[in-house]
Structure 1
Amino acid sequence: MNTAAITVPNANRALWEKGDFTRIAAAMRESGEALVKSLGITKGMKVLDLGCGDGTTAIPAAEAGAEVLGVDIARNLVAAGNARAKALQLSNIRFEEGDASQLGNLAAKSFDLAISIFGAMFAPKPFDVASEMVRVTRSGGKIVMGNWIPGDPTLVAQILKISSAYSPPPPEGFVSPMSWGSESDVIARFGAAGVPAANINCTKDTYRFVYPAPASKLLEQFRNFYGPTMNAFDAAAKNGKASDLQQELDLLFNRQNQASTNDTTVIPASFLRVTVRVP
């Protein structure tokens, strides 16, 4: 057998291609636009968005006048991003397939700003992710990450925590993506890439999920289209515990919904906002 011809499945790609994250991203557009407005993007700035999905932050960056490259591991999301850009008649943005831990096709020091909002945190080999982000960002440029915080009581951290309790144990050597929400881990990873701690700022920020239907309907989107939750329900069903998982998540979504009417959903989720100035 010619083992060199065997293609090893990419588990990370399979996770994000399993569902349709565009259905979740629709509830995240408002906060994505607000975050981009806070970045001071100017016309002609070269921006990289890693783990970009279908453009929740990449498209507002292009609308602000930047030259934007969106990179994502999921081919369906790359296609969706390019379709959104075409529909909006944006010629200053493109989306392409790529792995945040291995950006060999991108030249060193080629971006003024590298963004990754809940994206690169899910890539394998976090030290490689930090190294690549530093490598492709010019000296004096910035890296901005948004990372969910481990143990946080708000929505997404709790979704992932509850889901993991119903899922098989991770493989040996697995590094939790939630570790990107730890300031000490962030400093260690960018420090290994040559960034002094004084150049790294971590602050707690808030993202909002806004959905034009009750919270239980937003949960349906996560159950049917969000890879980690889909995997948890698959595993729970095999153990006869799918209804238990559903009840836990339904309670979580409804308890955290801050909307003033029963037919809408507004749920805040805390995250660690990381700003790195590249030396």
Structure 2
Amino acid sequence: MNPNKALWEKGDFTKIADSMRDSGSALVGRLGVSRGMKVLDLGCGDGTTAIPEARLGAEVLGVDIAGNLVEAGKKRAASEGLGNCRFQEGDATDLRELEDGAYDLVVTVFGAMFAPKPFDVAREMVRVTRPGGKIVMGNWIPGDPTLVAQILKISSAYTPPPPEGFVSPMLWGVESNVTERFTSAGVAKEDISFEKDVFTFEISGTPSEFLERFRKYYGPTMNAFEAAEKNGKAEDLQRELEELFNKQNKSGNGTTSIPANFLRVTVSRK
């Protein structure tokens, strides 16, 4: 099986996505989505941004490599009666089933950044965006002190080194790398812009309960704990992550609200 597909089908990302709904809707509200607009939501999961795009009247196609998340997205759209929101399996590195210039807007929020072959990903996103359209990416930032970058950093210390040739998904959070990838796909440097933004994870439970979701359902964290258990270090990993989640929680009264910084990339297709 495709290793990336296996990673994202391993757990159940819907358990994490439940904490991301409000921020997903808020981000979509800033993208200028309008009725009848054709939107591709790439690495869509179960529709954290695809569903809000459809609520605004856009014709949305959500594409994700994980079959379980595609099925979950279909159920969410059906439950809201959103016939203008479709989901299908697909690989961000090769969107051959999608026509050139078919979309007014391509959105990928913490999705396509995890696909391998980043230059292929950039080229495919540019290819399927119509002239005059745009691409918006939300990418985690390497070394950032907030939640997700720190989860991945801590987890990496407990897992075996990646295979030779592995390109870190976090490089999508570095402006120079993003520029190189899109200019290689034919985009002018001046048509690429960047803005630091914030995504907030919110649940009604405690930070420790939120961490448990990551341990049970988030593929990268699941892998880290499996490796740590083999080395007798699972308790160390648990302690480090407990400290992180509790320190970053901005809420109280047994609830959790943790902001995480990300890089918002906007590419104008000329």
TM-score (norm 2): 1.00
Alpha-carbon distance in 2 for matches of 1:186, 1:196: 12
Shift of the alpha carbon at 1:122?
0.1
Shift of the alpha carbon at 1:73?
0.3
2:226 corresponds to:
234
Shift of the alpha carbon at 1:265?
0.3
Percent of counterpart pairs with the same letter?
68
Alpha-carbon distance in 2 for matches of 1:165, 1:278: 39
Corresponding pairs, count: 270
1:47 corresponds to:
39
Alpha-carbon distance in 1 for matches of 2:195, 2:77: 31
Alpha-carbon distance in 1 for matches of 2:131, 2:117: 23
2:194 corresponds to:
202
- What is the SS of the residue equivalent to 1:202? strand
Alignment equivalent of 1:164, drawn from 156, 165, 168: 156
Q: Deviations over 1:115-143 (max 9, x none)?
A: 00000000010000000000000001000
Alpha-carbon distance in 1 for matches of 2:33, 2:170: 28
Alignment equivalent of 1:93, drawn from 85, 99, 109: 85
Aligned pairs (5 A) from 1:186-197? 186-197=178-189
Alpha-carbon distance in 1 for matches of 2:81, 2:172: 35
Q: Deviations over 1:131-177 (max 9, x none)?
A: 00000000010000000000000000000000011001000000000
Alignment equivalent of 1:264, drawn from 255, 265, 269: 255
1:221 corresponds to:
213
| 2:270 is aligned with 1:276 | no
Aligned pairs (5 A) from 1:46-195? 46-195=38-187
TM-score (norm 1): 0.96
Runs of 4 or more above 4 Å deviation: none
- What is the SS of the residue equivalent to 2:19? coil
Contiguous gaps of at least 5 residues in structure 1: 1-8
- What is the SS of the residue equivalent to 1:26? helix
Shift of the alpha carbon at 1:262?
3.1
